[in-house]
Chain A
Amino acid sequence: MWVYEKKLQYPVRVSTCNPTLAKYLIEQYGGADGELAAALRYLNQRYTIPDKVIGLLTDIGTEEFAHLEMIATMVYKLTKDATPEQMKAAGLGAHYADHDNALYYHNAAGIPFTATYITAKGDPIADLYEDIAAEEKARATYQWLINLSDDPDINDSLRFLREREIIHSLRFREAVGILKDEKGKKKIF
């Protein structure tokens, strides 16, 4: 069960109507290392991971949905009331033809979201290392997005999201530490 809260995790502000920036940010909405992929990855892995780390996967997976909402808010505000001409000038003519100004789960190059972005190996160590890699890749994506963006308010939110990737990576590393601890060693009878 999930309960929606009518609040963003972080106050998102946007300085200017800028559909071009929205085109880049959509990478973190429907891209391989985006927030949707992250949420689905962790919330799917939790069913087959040792009980000691189910709570962590549940909580980080849930936080990823809050990040997805932040990205959606940025894209929504950057394109809200943008005219077809503005969309076209931003390289979003093809997007507009199919979706008008609606959001869609695809990456910055327009490739639709796919379940192949997510892995679930069933081996706890393999899955947690996958999660650590995913967090580092998302951190890198935020770096490149900040480098591309000249909107100070958007950058403020992107910096918050990048820092969250650092903390999540740390927690997944700790989860590996918990699982490899010798106190959990197989009992031999």
Chain B
Amino acid sequence: MNTHFKSYYPYASPFDPCQPVTEKTYSTPPHLYMSFQPPNLPQFSPLEALKAGTLWKDFYDPWYNSFEKAKRGGEI
């Protein structure tokens, strides 16, 4: 299973005016790891699929902002 986020640690100068962000993350969604979708991947139900934005579970990778993440108790 591939992770959907990667991170790096940019150089921070003592003279940087803004509070430095020590760890930067970026999105690496699941489709990057599948060059051609194989047949018979597990599916969502129609209503779940509509809510997810995809029919196939393997490609589901929702994005939440920090407020939403805090509300969801830190998951994802």
Residues of chain A touching chain B, judged by Cβ–Cβ distance below 8 Å, are 10, 139-140, 142-143, 146-150, 152, 155, 159-164, 166-167, 169-170, 173-174, 177
Contacts and interface: CB of A to CB of B under 8 A. Distances in A.
Interface of B: 27, 29-31, 34-37, 50-54, 59-68
Contact of B27 (A139, A160, A164, A174): A139
A143 B29 CA distance: 12
A155 B64 CA distance: 8
Contacts of B29: 139, 166
Given A142-B63, A155-B65, A155-B68, A164 B36 contact: no
A177 B36 contact: yes
A146 B66 CA distance: 10
B2 to A, nearest CB: 13
A174 B53 CA distance: 19
Nearest to A148: B65
Contacts of B54: 163-164, 166-167
Contacts of A150: 67
A21 B65 CA distance: 15
Contacts of A140: 27
Contacts of A149: 65
A166 B63 contact: no
18 contacts: A10-B50, A140-B27, A146-B63, A149-B65, A150-B67, A159-B53, A160-B53, A163-B53, A163-B60, A166-B29, A166-B30, A166-B31, A166-B54, A167-B31, A167-B54, A170-B37, A173-B31, A173-B36
B33 to A, nearest CB: 10
